[in-house]
Structure 1
């Protein structure tokens, strides 16, 4: 029941709140963005503060991104079917409303790479040739289906087209070997045009799974490709070519935390990666911007003006910095850091994009009490903001969305674990007579991070009298490279022990009823739920598992082929059955004592629905209460609003039945 005098709003009211994401500018300065007003994300447009928002696409499937042409009145967008993540690419004519399907291969994934600087071509990666391998495609903007040129064949796993060079003759590529280990490459399209797209020296080695000793293992084996990074154990994200040809990138190569850095590509070309030292001593790498002790987690560079905006992730909250390049490796602030940081309300900035004149910057922003929205910043020494896309909270009052308290608790090895702690409105933290139940909400990844963004169901649970505890256990991002590796492979269960320590911390809170604590999480967080209730069964009153892994062996066997080697780097090789069995909850299912709710989507390409099916069957066979909600038209994420309402209404009833709110 509600803990104050505010009305008890239903689930549908909370989930009816629109979310705005991916805001960007067109060539003439019009704002484009995604909004889920109709139930799933579509492309919207708003020409200015005095113009009404206009929905452009009208599909019953999820639109995943929108990218405006740099020169024409058109935009690319991606869309899958049934949340299967097999994106197809389309171009939308902003003048006529006509849509053109650029790929028309629904069995394959097409990962957007960007528009060429002149707007005549697009680049993307696709697994058309082999389901386990992504190749690099370049295609004219008016070509369709089979009109692309494969300019480079991949060698297996994730390969991403990340940026075009300023003259349209180069592409930056990222090959993700693991979540925190990528290789960064530059592909010369002029050389590639005169070279076979295959890297392999003979026909047999074009098989991405070939074991022949002559099979190449590095994209730089191709004459049109150079490897940029010298470090094998670092992250590289969001590469952008500068006006002088240098390559800017977010990386943790020189530091435990992610910085904005620049590679001198002339220095890269002058020495092979094996000849350069890894880490901070790489002579080709310069740190451009950093935030001591925290990650630079997003940036936007306008090549023409040299203006740069970036955000620092400080305990989950984004701090905005706006400046310009005084030289290729130095950012000169346009506004004092505290002034720029105050230009956008406290919360999370997920995307940044410059307008065509670099006088305006748009931020995709959300906060505990603000749904995703587009905030436009007019950049000068005293930045001002205008909210151009904010669809509101359907009249739900501000008090419905309380901000969390940042806490740290000690775990089994003395380490401090960061977390967000939120009590229901009106609850006195020091009143032992209150005895509120707690939902321990565990993020996925495992390398993701819980941050103070808008979560409508969290607000619903708080209004129903549940406190919410959101730990960033070891392995989470946001706290440095070393922290992310603390749960790798054979250290997997240490992160589960962090959950047991969280319950100990909660039990010491006067207002908490430690007999009513719920394990709750999705994706990898779903695995953590299952692991928690099998490793520490006496701690939990109920559990909710969204798309979680029950058996790492069957998960690795059945996950998308393009993901397998990437996931093995995190969890352990498929051949290491002893380890996989040891960390898989399915092998200790007889220890589960609390009621369990399992949600999944039949089209999930990441965690196959068979993971849900086997845990449901095993738990129900032992007489433990288990409820399930499996959607035939959803995947790893429940994207339809109607389905989200159904699933969360059922979960709310499940929790009230087995735990009970305040």
Structure 2
């Protein structure tokens, strides 16, 4: 096979993700990109993937009704993230997509089904661009009713019973408040102590005990399992806590006997089970090291979930709590041609300029002297690089490059203090983390000083540009994907619905405008020495394409080496398979050209 054919095979590897059980059917669905975009699939009697229903655009969310008779799906248009809601009868022989909630100019965030399967909850900014109100829609009559008004960003996250919804309102980029809203009389009860900044996530009601279980870092560094009584929502009881690691996802078994959870140990998930009655916890063994998500109970004893690892792009697995056996249900995320080339990373740490321990995943096969390397920066900022498959990383390693994927200060998964270490005017400390990592690679991994590239998406793209401008001598090439070139213009032009959330991380326009101008890569383009490759989606509602255009225009006027590729049918996320292949092939060719010369 030629190098180009091998690269295409790396990029064409499919996956299964967002697994979800269908109530009462002992059957499940998942998303996959067999058609080039994310659509809904299931397994037939021969355990072969079959498409459930065709959709005109990518599927973002899927919610099967509690009675197994209806399913709703969310789709946007050409990546603009303005999700619209459609429905189909799950039990119909010929499935027809029916518009349920459609207003193309607005966002719709699905909250889930009422327990009786009559209503679906969602939030939308129909009243004003930055204001999200909560609605319910009757699945049979299609009648929509507003049940809660909020002059900021909010989403319904769970139902307690057929009349009460839990609504999450974002206070900052990480913190939130929870309220119980009655859909008929509009009464509101606040959960927990709102005077203490906290994350509240994944609330799940247990109607048998009248308790609601959730994850929170209330008065702690990390997310832990806790609960409150519906009758006393202000009193939160801590049940299960790891001081060092976050718990990430929870899911109740149908009879509410077991609560499955995931534990994030430095970007690698463990699966566990907690018994509220016995107050006992057990971690599962035998599951490959990777990222577990989309947990859903097929029966009272069998849990299904999506599993991604660095050498497994994504498949649906099950765990039997009675026999403690793990079983792989789909075999979509594999390759007979390039799977043998995939590389497991090492989880390492380096000490930054101030002594802070910064973790990173290190991929390498050759370990040769003076080899080239690439640093891969995650977005967010409050995201986390995890142990999951990345085709570009794997191909670069296959071509003899080392790749370091760090979780610099400001990353999620290491506690609240670490998460907030890059806020506002501490932004350049995170950039210096990248500079220290580049020096670490040359000092401990035999990487050539003049052959280090850097790549990142979204906030990671901003960090690429910041690294190129503030530490220009360290880099041989840079790739910016949908990144910001100036936090000031980004905040001025991003969607109103998210501006105040980003300001809580970056600092407000009112207070930090001069600081943004001072550190902006857009204002320091004369410092850039490395060639630059820039990608952006025309329909990006998070980081406007103007952030890339203004930077590219300036570099071109200076005759600096820059290449700009705009995807006309994408938004913030590059979703379509053809566009992913274009982007990744350009990226690999770019690094191959500038890191091997």
TM-score (norm 1): 0.87
Alignment partner of 2:231: what SS? helix
Structure 1 segments of 4 or more deviating over 4 A?
6-9
1:296 matches 2:247: yes
Using the alignment, how far apart are the partners of 1:33 and 1:92 within structure 2? 16
**Alpha-carbon shift at residue 61 of structure 1 (Å):** 1.7
Using the alignment, how far apart are the partners of 2:324 and 2:330 within structure 1? 18
1:445 matches 2:380: yes
1:38 matches 2:35: yes
Structure 1 residue aligned with 2:394: 459
* 1:64-100 residue CA offsets vs partner (Å, 9 max, x unmatched): 1211111033311110011000001111223231111
Alignment partner of 1:190: what SS? coil
Structure 2 residue aligned with 1:172: 166
**Alpha-carbon shift at residue 179 of structure 1 (Å):** 2.2
Structure 2 residue aligned with 1:131: 129
Structure 2 residue aligned with 1:252: 217
Structure 1 residue aligned with 2:285: 341
**Alpha-carbon shift at residue 508 of structure 1 (Å):** 0.7
Contact 1:67–1:77, Cα closer than 8 Å, also in 2: yes
**Alpha-carbon shift at residue 323 of structure 1 (Å):** 3.5
Contact 2:147–2:184, Cα closer than 8 Å, also in 1: no
Q: 2:315 aligns with which of 373, 382, 393?
A: 373
Larger displacement relative to structure 2 (357-366 or 534-543): 357-366
Q: Gaps spanning 5+ residues in structure 1: where?
A: 193-222, 270-283
* 1:460-511 residue CA offsets vs partner (Å, 9 max, x unmatched): 1111222100110000011111000000001111000100100110111353
**Alpha-carbon shift at residue 442 of structure 1 (Å):** 0.2
Larger displacement relative to structure 2 (303-312 or 18-27): 303-312
Contact 1:183–1:232, Cα closer than 8 Å, also in 2: no
Using the alignment, how far apart are the partners of 2:192 and 2:75 within structure 1? 32
Structure 1 residue aligned with 2:83: 87
Using the alignment, how far apart are the partners of 2:256 and 2:589 within structure 1? 55
Contact 1:102–1:143, Cα closer than 8 Å, also in 2: no
Contact 1:311–1:349, Cα closer than 8 Å, also in 2: yes
* 1:411-468 residue CA offsets vs partner (Å, 9 max, x unmatched): 1111111111111x3x1x3x43xx2111100000001000111111211111122210
Residues 294 and 510 of structure 1, relative CA distance in 2, 3 Å threshold: closer
Contact 2:179–2:188, Cα closer than 8 Å, also in 1: no
Residues 226 and 410 of structure 1, relative CA distance in 2, 3 Å threshold: closer
Over the residues paired in the alignment, what is the CA RMSD in angstroms?
Answer: 1.8
Structure 1 residue aligned with 2:303: 361
Structure 1 residue aligned with 2:533: 597
Q: 2:454 aligns with which of 481, 505, 519?
A: 519
Alignment partner of 1:567: what SS? helix
Contact 2:254–2:300, Cα closer than 8 Å, also in 1: no
Matched ranges for 1:176-575 at <5 A: 176-192=170-186, 223-243=187-207, 244-268=209-233, 284-302=235-253, 304-326=255-277, 330=279, 332-333=280-281, 336-337=282-283, 340-342=284-286, 344-355=287-298, 357-380=299-322, 382-423=323-364, 425=365, 427=366, 429=367, 431-432=368-369, 435-575=370-510
* 1:17-45 residue CA offsets vs partner (Å, 9 max, x unmatched): 11211101101121111111111100111
Using the alignment, how far apart are the partners of 1:643 and 1:306 within structure 2? 45
Contact 2:189–2:233, Cα closer than 8 Å, also in 1: no
* 1:361-400 residue CA offsets vs partner (Å, 9 max, x unmatched): 01111001111111011221x3112222231323134431
Greater per-residue strand proportion: 2
* 1:42-62 residue CA offsets vs partner (Å, 9 max, x unmatched): 0111256x4322112323521
Contact 1:92–1:100, Cα closer than 8 Å, also in 2: yes
Residues 607 and 232 of structure 1, relative CA distance in 2, 3 Å threshold: farther
Alignment partner of 2:184: what SS? helix
Contact 2:192–2:236, Cα closer than 8 Å, also in 1: no
* 1:542-599 residue CA offsets vs partner (Å, 9 max, x unmatched): 0000000101111111101101111111111112311221232111111001100000
Using the alignment, how far apart are the partners of 2:3 and 2:493 within structure 1? 46
Structure 2 residue aligned with 1:115: 113
Residues 120 and 411 of structure 1, relative CA distance in 2, 3 Å threshold: same
**Alpha-carbon shift at residue 303 of structure 1 (Å):** 5.7
Using the alignment, how far apart are the partners of 1:43 and 1:366 within structure 2? 18
* 1:322-378 residue CA offsets vs partner (Å, 9 max, x unmatched): 232216xx3x24xx53xx132x211110221112x3221011110011111110112
Larger displacement relative to structure 2 (443-452 or 386-395): 386-395
Structure 2 residue aligned with 1:274: none
Larger displacement relative to structure 2 (565-574 or 50-59): 50-59
Alignment partner of 2:444: what SS? coil
Q: Gaps spanning 5+ residues in structure 2: where?
A: none
Contact 2:254–2:297, Cα closer than 8 Å, also in 1: no
1:78 matches 2:74: yes
**Alpha-carbon shift at residue 8 of structure 1 (Å):** 7.0
Structure 2 residue aligned with 1:22: 18
Residues 8 and 131 of structure 1, relative CA distance in 2, 3 Å threshold: closer
Residues 348 and 34 of structure 1, relative CA distance in 2, 3 Å threshold: same
Contact 2:392–2:588, Cα closer than 8 Å, also in 1: no
Contact 1:321–1:341, Cα closer than 8 Å, also in 2: no
